[in-house]
Amino acid sequence: MNRTCTSLMLAGSLLAGGQAMAGDLLLWQNNSLTYLYGKDFKVNPSIQQTVTFEHADAWKYGDDFLFVDKTFYNGKPDQAGNNSYYGEFSPRLSFGKIFDQKLEFGPIKDVLLAMTYEFGKGDVESYLIGPGFDLAIPGFDYFQLNFYNRHTDDKRPGNNIWQITPVWSYTIPVGSSSVLIDGYMDWVVDNDKNSQGTYHANLHFNPQIKYDLGKALHWGEKQLYVGIEYDYWKNKYAIEDTQDFTTNQSATSLLVKYHF
C-alpha cells in the first residue's frame, strides 16, 4: 500500500467525517436504496439480485460519494459463496473552495483532489488518488472527470496503474415527469504489461436509465424511480477474455430506486 496515498485518503475521510460535527459545513446530502434483478453476468453466477445503499453530499470544501452493494447469486455459489458485497468511498477536495478562488477555464468549473477507497469480500482492497475536474457541459446536470492512480498491496497485481472515471447525470423531460440517465465509466489503461500480464486493461460502463415515477404519481419529485441498469465490462475484474473463459460482460438489470 502506498503510504502517501493512504495518508491522503485518511485525511479526506476525516475532513468528510467532520461534517457530522459541524452542520454549517454541509451544503446538501442525499441517500438512496436500490433493488436490482439482472441476468447474463459473467465470471460470477449469471443471475444476480443486488441491494445498493448510496450516499452523496457536498460540503464547504468538497464532495463525497459512498455506495455499498450486497449481491445474491440465487443459490448458485461462486468461489466466494452464495452472496458477496462490494463498496467504494470517494471523497474529493476542491482546490477552488479551499483557496477561495475560481479555477474556471474553458469547460472546467473546478479542479479537485479525487480519492477512492475500494473494499469488499475477498482480496479487493484498493486505494485510488489523482486529479479530478468538474466540467460544464450543456444539457448535463453534472459531469465529473477523475484521473486516478491505483494502489494495492505490493503482493497483488494491478498496482500503480491509471484509471479514468467520468461520472454524469442528464435529465430528459417526458410528459408530466422525466427520465434520468446517469452513471459512470471506469477505464483502467496502460497495464497489460503490469504484474506479468495477470491484470489486464479493462473498461466498465455502468449507466442507469430511470423514470421518475414518484413525480408522475404526484408523490414527490426525485424520490422514486423505476428503470434499468446496463452493465458492460470488458475484461471483467481485469481478467482477459478468451475462448475458454468469457469475461466480457453485457448484462441488463431491472431496478427500483428510492431516495430519502
3-state helix, strand, coil split of the chain in percent (to 5) is: 15, 55, 30
pLDDT at 179: 98
> Which is more confident, 78 or 149?
149
pLDDT tops 70 at residue 10: no
The pLDDT tens digits of the residues spanning 79-119 come to 768 899 999 999 999 999 999 999 999 999 999 999 999 99
pLDDT tops 70 at residue 14: no
Give the chain's mean pLDDT.
90
pLDDT at 79: 73
| Three cell numbers, residue 90 | 470517494
Q: Is the distance from CB of 254 to CB of 37 less than 8 angstroms? A: yes
The pLDDT tens digits of the residues spanning 199-247 come to 899 999 999 999 999 999 999 999 999 999 999 999 999 999 999 999 9
The pLDDT tens digits of the residues spanning 55-75 come to 999 999 999 999 999 999 987
The one-letter amino acid code at 224 reads: L
pLDDT at 31: 98
The pLDDT tens digits of the residues spanning 130-170 come to 999 999 999 999 999 999 999 987 667 778 899 999 999 99
Alpha-helix runs per DSSP H in the chain: 3-17, 95-98, 213-216
Proportion of the chain above pLDDT 90, given as a percent:
79
Structural domain range at position 196: 3-259
pLDDT tops 80 at residue 18: no
pLDDT tops 80 at residue 22: no
Q: Which CATH number fits the domain that encloses residue 83? A: 2.40.230.20
Distance CA 35, CA 187 (A): 25
Under the banding of pLDDT at 50, 70 and 90, the label for residue 24 is confident
Burial class (CB in 10 A: 0-12, 13-18, 19+), 139: exposed
Which of 41-55, 149-163, 175-189 has the lowest average pLDDT? 149-163
pLDDT at 41: 96
pLDDT at 122: 86
Tally of domains within the chain: 1
List, in sequence order, every beta strand (DSSP E) within 106-212.
108-120, 126-135, 140-151, 161-174, 177-189, 202-212
pLDDT tops 80 at residue 195: no
pLDDT at 193: 56
Q: What does DSSP assign to residue 239?
A: P
Under the banding of pLDDT at 50, 70 and 90, the label for residue 20 is very low
